[in-house]
């Protein structure tokens, strides 16, 4: 069998960081704090800290593995190489299925912010998916360029939101203290909700075949992007608690927007709404990119249909995989409202990072950049956060993984 066509190394550290930031500074920063506050109350920042620790451990595992295996596919490849084909499949299948659902959710979120009429939202969401897929199709450098623009616009919107919340003419400090929601369990549940806002650094690892000097670039990009986002989320979390208080944050469907409105600067609210819409596009762009690269890696090994392994001869992108992902996402967007029922996506991401931590734990000293205890903390953290998910989400996630495993076993059993 001929060697698969490789992707081209066109991205530098700044490009990789921009794509990672676009994935992490998504719509979650505008909405994830509300359910987290409902779970943890005044313990919101403790939950944020727990999420940051688990995310850091997972990020160091991904960075260490990516330096040894600089190819597309992320933990799908790492699991195969370090633990065996079945481990890699479970990680890759969980990522592809979960993040495809997340793509649909981000497209619908964008449409909800961008257009007021509900009947127009699905067509607008489909148009957003097609437009970003077209950008990806034209090459990874165009994706990185658009990611930079999106990140810059979202950071401006967040800066306006934080400033207006503190300095607006109607700004009044709230009491940030109070009962810690559901106690330790509530804090862990908040951490689980906030963790997925950080999980975009996985997109950097899936680009291992398209960055220059990957053994140096990927670890720097992953850790640097995560560090910046942790700081940003801490600023936003402190602002919300100080300006609204835990109860108002928990009851809000758009806490940053409510904080801006409470500050009294009327002109700032549309900026925040526009920032949320753009952030959703940034997350969608990064998700489509990451899912396409993981699908490419799985197709190369026969775990997805092999035609998806094709690489465009001119644009050097996995064009068939990206088109297939876009088609599935458009179908979901047009038929199902996934915003409230994609808990299995969270389950899949935690399984993905559990495999990453276990894989990194097995690496030899010559490939080790971080101590093994970080991988132990990361693995335990993934399991603990999984246990805080709603039972229905865990059940759906386990069922989806089981279907994939059964299908793979059936294919392997056929001579």
- pLDDT tens for each residue of 26-68: 767 877 788 888 888 888 899 999 999 998 999 889 889 988 8
Q: How far is CA 181 from the centre of its chain?
A: 26
The tally of domains found in the chain comes to 1
> Which of 6-10, 96-100, 349-353, 376-380 reaches the highest mean pLDDT?
376-380
pLDDT of residue 341: 56
Beta-carbon contacts of 1 under 8 Å, excluding residues fewer than 6 positions away, are none
Most confident of 105-109, 209-213, 351-355: 351-355
CB atoms within 10 A of CB 72: 27
Integer CA distances (angstroms), 364 to 217, 290, 354, 367, 369, in order: 21, 27, 19, 6, 10
Determine if residue 369 is left, alpha or beta; phi over 0 gives left, psi from -120 to 50 gives alpha, anything else beta.
alpha
Res 279 pLDDT > 90: no
Q: Which two tokens stand for residue 286?
A: 């990064």
**Element housing 240 (H / E):** helix 214-243
What would the mean pLDDT of 180-208 be, rounded to a whole number?
Answer: 76
The count of C-alpha atoms lying within 13 angstroms of the C-alpha of 310, restricted to the half-sphere facing its C-beta, is: 14
Q: Are 17 and 224 in contact (CB under 8 A)?
A: yes
The rounded distance, in Å, linking the Cα atoms of 234 and 239 is 8
Structural domain includes residue 301: yes
Q: Is 8 inside any structural domain?
A: no
Please say whether the beta carbons of 45 and 234 come within 8 A. yes
Instruction: Note the maximum CA span of the chain.
Output: 73
Tell me whether residue 388 is in a domain: yes
Evaluate the CA torsion angle 39, 41, 46, 52 in order and state its sign. positive
pLDDT: which is higher, 221 or 123: 123
Domain span holding position 207:
13-408
CATH code of the domain containing 100: 1.20.1740.10
| Residue 216 domain-assigned (yes or no) | yes
Q: What integer pLDDT is reported at residue 356 of this predicted model? A: 95
Domain-located, residue 414: no
219-278 per-position pLDDT tens digit: 888 888 888 999 999 999 999 988 888 888 888 877 888 889 888 888 998 998 899 888
The predicted structure's pLDDT at residue 373: 95
* Domain-embedded: residue 3: no
Interval 7-12 mean pLDDT: 76
Whether residue 282 lies inside any domain: the answer is: yes
Asked whether residue 4 is domain-assigned, the answer is no
pLDDT of residue 293 exceeding 50, the answer is yes
Measure the N-to-C terminal CA separation of the chain; round to a whole number of Å. Answer: 18
Distances (CA, A) of 269 to 35, 47, 110, 238, 382: 21, 27, 16, 19, 36
For the ranges 99-108, 154-163, 191-200, 278-287, the lowest mean pLDDT is seen at 191-200
Neighbouring C-beta atoms of residue 17, cutoff 10 Å:
24
On the question of pLDDT at 94 being above 80, the answer is yes
CA pair distance 385, 185, nearest whole angstrom? 10
């Amino acid at each position: 069998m001929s060697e698969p066509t490789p992707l081209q190394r066109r991205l530098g550290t700044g490009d990789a960081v921009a794509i990672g930031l676009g994935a992490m500074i998504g719509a979650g920063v505008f909405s994830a704090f509300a359910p987290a506050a409902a779970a943890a109350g005044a313990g919101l920042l403790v939950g944020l800290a727990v999420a940051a620790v688990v995310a850091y451990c997972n990020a160091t595992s991904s960075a260490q593995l990516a330096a040894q295996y600089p190819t597309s596919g992320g933990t799908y490849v790492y699991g195969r190489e370090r633990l065996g084909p079945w481990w890699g499949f479970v990680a890759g299948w969980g990522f592809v299925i979960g993040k495809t659902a997340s793509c649909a959710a981000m497209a619908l979120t964008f449409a909800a912010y961008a257009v007021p009429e509900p009947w127009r939202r699905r067509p607008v969401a489909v148009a957003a998916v097609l437009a970003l897929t077209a950008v990806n199709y034209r090459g990874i450098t165009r994706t990185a360029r658009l990611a930079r623009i999106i990140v810059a616009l979202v950071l401006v919107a967040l800066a306006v939101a934080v400033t207006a919340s503190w300095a607006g003419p109607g700004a009044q400090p709230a009491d940030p203290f109070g009962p810690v929601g559901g106690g330790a369990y509530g804090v862990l549940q908040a951490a689980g909700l906030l963790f997925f806002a950080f999980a975009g650094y996985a997109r950097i690892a899936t680009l291992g075949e398209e960055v220059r000097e990957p053994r140096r670039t990927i670890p720097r990009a992953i850790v640097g992007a995560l560090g910046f986002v942790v700081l940003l989320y801490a600023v936003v979390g402190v602002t919300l608690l100080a300006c609204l208080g835990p109860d108002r944050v928990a009851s809000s469907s758009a806490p940053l927007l409510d904080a801006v409105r409470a500050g009294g600067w009327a002109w700032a609210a549309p900026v925040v709404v526009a920032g949320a819409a753009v952030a959703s596009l940034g997350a969608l762009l990064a998700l489509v990119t990451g899912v396409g690269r993981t699908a490419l890696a799985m197709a190369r090994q026969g775990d997805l249909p092999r035609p998806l392994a094709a690489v465009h001869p001119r644009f050097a992108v996995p064009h068939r995989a990206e088109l297939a992902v876009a088609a599935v996402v458009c179908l979901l967007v047009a038929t199902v409202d996934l915003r409230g029922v994609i808990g299995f996506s969270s389950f899949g991401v935690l399984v993905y990072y559990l495999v990453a931590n276990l894989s990194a734990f097995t690496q030899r000293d010559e490939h080790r950049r971080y101590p093994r205890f970080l991988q132990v903390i990361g693995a335990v953290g993934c399991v603990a956060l999984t246990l805080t998910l709603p039972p229905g989400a865990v059940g759906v996630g386990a069922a989806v993984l089981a279907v994939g495993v059964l299908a793979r076993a059936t294919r392997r059993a056929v001579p």
